[in-house]
Amino acid sequence: MRWRLKLRFRSALLLATLPAVVAFAFSQNVYAQSQPGLPPEKVAAVFGQNIHYFEFGQGPVVILLHGLGSVKEIWLANVGALASKYHVYAIDQIGFGHSDKPLLEYKIATFVDFLQGFMQAQNIGKATLVGNSLGGWIALDFTAQHPEMVEKLVLVDSAGLSSMREPAVDLNASSVAGMRTVLESVFYNKQMVTDQTVLRVFTDHVRNNDGYTIQRLQAGLVTPQFEDMKLAAIHAPTLVVWGRQDELLPVAAGEKLRDSIAGAKLTVFDQCGHVPQLEKAAEFNQALLDFLAK
């Protein structure tokens, strides 16, 4: 039974890894079309480690949380819309992107602690958390542990539920061909998966140098720490966003989050896969702005 739990948890982590690997090339292109250039990258010290981040706009604080293996740039298709009214932080979480990668036994609690430390370092008392896949898992756990620090919660095709099924593809791509298979499982619109994109995403994946973080997170969490039993304790206004054609985490998972979190609302985008903030960026941005304005 124990090995089955371990396998199930590793599958869940791989599901949470996926958007990270794919998103950078797409989101950077969208941002470049509408913005003159990226802001300077900033650095915050948290527990003696350097956390790199982008900062946009002014107003109520919104923090964007990427998935496992990802980088802060995955939100570039969304920050322009948000920054007109909100103070937006997009961070490289500990162990990923340009942030330090200490030799830790990474756990969900590790990311929760570093998120709290980042908020304290920036003198942020309360913020809206927006998390995709593993980022949603971290946001859920953070909200359960630190409800006084969360204004609102947005879960985008979020991982973290025990009902997550084992993926039909090998999401830990170690070849160009394997990366193509992964990408085609992420997007509803397969035309987005061009030869150039596959090569760029695979190259970025290799260059990220976050394999140790992923490996230790998988190895260190033998007993699953899913969020099912914590959902009833979440009282922050919550928006759940899902792609109806998500091949990795079915919309039923979003429905469970909606039904288990008091007052939660669910928005589902048709003709959309696992990363609606990219595949349906304009619609996603509008749904997010409408929710934040309430």
The count of domains in the chain is: 1
pLDDT of amino acid 181: 85
Q: Which pLDDT value is given to residue 288?
A: 98
In the chain, the N- to C-terminal Cα span, in Å, equals 46
Residue 225's pLDDT is 65
For 211-243, write each residue's pLDDT tens digit.
777 777 766 555 556 788 899 999 999 999 999
Q: Which domain holds residue 35?
A: 2-293
Condensed to tens digits (0 to 9), the pLDDT of residues 191-217 reads: 888 898 888 878 877 787 777 777 777
Burial degree of 223 (CB within 10 A; 0-12, 13-18, 19+): exposed
Beta strands at 42-46 and 61-65: parallel, antiparallel or unpaired? unpaired
- The per-residue pLDDT for 224 is 58
Give the C-alpha distances (Å, rounded to integers) separating 261 from 146, 236, 246. 16, 9, 21
Q: What is the pLDDT of residue 261?
A: 97
| Per-residue model confidence (pLDDT) at position 169 | 64
- CATH number of the domain to which 142 belongs: 3.40.50.1820
CA distance 248 to 243: 10
What is the dihedral angle through the alpha carbons of 294, 54, 131, 21, rounded to the nearest 10 degrees?
Answer: 140
Q: Pick out the chain residues at pLDDT < 70.
A: 1-37, 164-172, 218-225
Query: What's the predicted TM-score (pTM) here?
Result: 0.87
Report d(CA 174, CA 212) in Å as an integer.
15
Q: What is the pLDDT of residue 13?
A: 41
- Cα 47 from Cα 32, distance rounded (Å): 34
* pLDDT value, residue 4: 40
Hey, what's the torsion of the CAs at 48, 50, 51, 54, to 10 degrees?
Answer: 140
